[in-house]
Chain A
């Protein structure tokens, strides 16, 4: 502090320098930035999409086969607990260096919130509503499509939101297994002790997470029925 108050010109220029040089850096590397941003989005979108395609039916299945709930959610929990870098490491022998390892790991992380929220959302539907539906002669598919999924949509979307935001964060680590993304700048910056480079990756990654959260929040308000 005393250093800053004393007005060390070196320190001040370095603080300003961080901002200026970041914009400077982007100006000079805009193509690379767009490429990494694109890779990052690709990793997140594909893995969240796959996790949704697997997680939604699995969550629905758990509401139909309550006995499977414990084992399946337990397993998903175990995967969620493995540190991300360790999971990437564990997957390398299977999928090698590259995007597939990263996507697989991201899918694994995104599954738990989606499966759990799908299950919780549907299980939370008023039993009287379900009984009335069945009693009126709705098939299981009709009940799911017309009643359970619409009523559970808010909870399911919240799960997708969590999964997406977590994926944006974990996808930065994908760079460590050669899958690209904004983590490339961060790892490169850490390796060369270059703050600008670290920020060049970290700032857009953080903004991306906020944007994804905001957009999905908006979708939730637009799509979900509420009283």
Chain B
């Protein structure tokens, strides 16, 4: 691994739902966490940004122990995208995207510039969409805004919990392709949760397979394809 680990997870535990998970993610890397429902993927993400408090192990962001940071400060350095998007319905798109910068008390012209930059980045014309409300957008557009919002304060880490899971297959492929193009440019340390192997193989620089709270496989997409591990085989067969 050439890049230094922006995110490091050591023996992370949460009751019996996450039973000792360890991995590192460097800048520009995307670790895809695969697993069936209830395997602990989402729980692992929530342990990283402390929406849940680990019962054991630790999380380090750029070398600093997450447990030692104020949860609010920690979360503002970690972008978070969820399947349901969770845009604020009473805010315009621009206000949604500019939320964290606003909480961080950026100057308003700096926020406006950042919002334009991010909307353009995720393929939405700021002049067209900036003043709309979330209910005036399609599902795919909403998730673009969700990604833009998570990137607003330029966090070094980005957590994505099945971000494209609720989209129709065509929009989904479209967003996956665009996301793939973004990954390299952004240089973030990303953890991407999905149960879609195809998506994982496309977007991950590495894949981790969670099974009953344990990381049973961790390796590159190529290693994943070739793996003889029965848990991995089961997933690969589901694709074939």
Contact = CB atoms under 8 A, between A and B. Distances in A.
B240 to A, nearest CB: 34
Contacts of B84: 126, 128, 131-132
Contact of B51 (A131, A139, A150): A131
Contact of B80 (A136, A139, A147): A136
A147 B88 contact: yes
B72 A139 contact: yes
Contact of B90 (A131, A135, A138, A225): A225
A222 to B, nearest CB: 15
A211 to B, nearest CB: 29
Q: Which of under 10, 10 to 19, 20 to 34, or 35 or more describes the interface residues of B? A: 20 to 34
A142 interface: yes
Interface string A116-155: 0000000000101111111111110010001100110000
B86 A133 contact: yes
A34 B100 CA distance: 53
A126 B80 CA distance: 17
A137 B51 CA distance: 10
A227 B86 contact: no
Interface in B122-174: 133, 135, 146, 149-150, 159
Nearest to A224: B90
B86 A142 contact: no
Given A129-B87, A129-B89, A135 B103 contact: no
Contacts of B85: 128, 132
B232 interface: no
Given A136-B149, A137-B73, A225-B90, 12 more contacts: A126-B84, A126-B86, A129-B86, A130-B86, A135-B51, A135-B75, A135-B86, A136-B80, A137-B72, A137-B100, A147-B88, A227-B135
Nearest to A142: B103
Interface of A: 126, 128-139, 142, 146-147, 150-151, 225, 227
A142 B75 CA distance: 14
Nearest to B84: A128
Nearest to A138: B103
B99 interface: yes
A184 to B, nearest CB: 45
Nearest to A132: B86
A129 B88 contact: yes
B207 interface: no
B209 interface: no
A53 B80 CA distance: 36
B82 to A, nearest CB: 6
Given A134-B51, A136-B99, A136-B150, A227 B89 contact: yes
Given A136-B150, A137-B72, A137-B76, A151 B103 contact: no
A136 B74 CA distance: 9
B49 interface: yes
A51 to B, nearest CB: 26
22 contacts: A128-B85, A128-B86, A129-B87, A131-B82, A131-B84, A131-B86, A132-B82, A132-B88, A132-B146, A134-B75, A135-B82, A135-B86, A136-B76, A136-B150, A137-B71, A137-B73, A137-B76, A137-B77, A138-B99, A147-B88, A227-B89, A227-B135
B82 A150 contact: no
Given A142-B103, A227-B133, A135 B49 contact: yes
A33 to B, nearest CB: 43
B59 to A, nearest CB: 15
A153 to B, nearest CB: 9
Given A137-B74, A137-B103, A138-B103, A132 B87 contact: yes
A137 B159 CA distance: 13
A126 B85 CA distance: 11
A137 to B, nearest CB: 3
List 8 tightest A-B contacts by C-beta distance, closest first: A132-B86, A137-B75, A128-B84, A137-B76, A135-B80, A128-B86, A225-B90, A227-B135
A164 B20 CA distance: 56
B89 A151 contact: yes
With a 10 A CB-CB cut-off, give which of A132, A150, A227 has the most chain B CB atoms: A132
Interface string B88-106: 1110000000011001000
B119 to A, nearest CB: 17
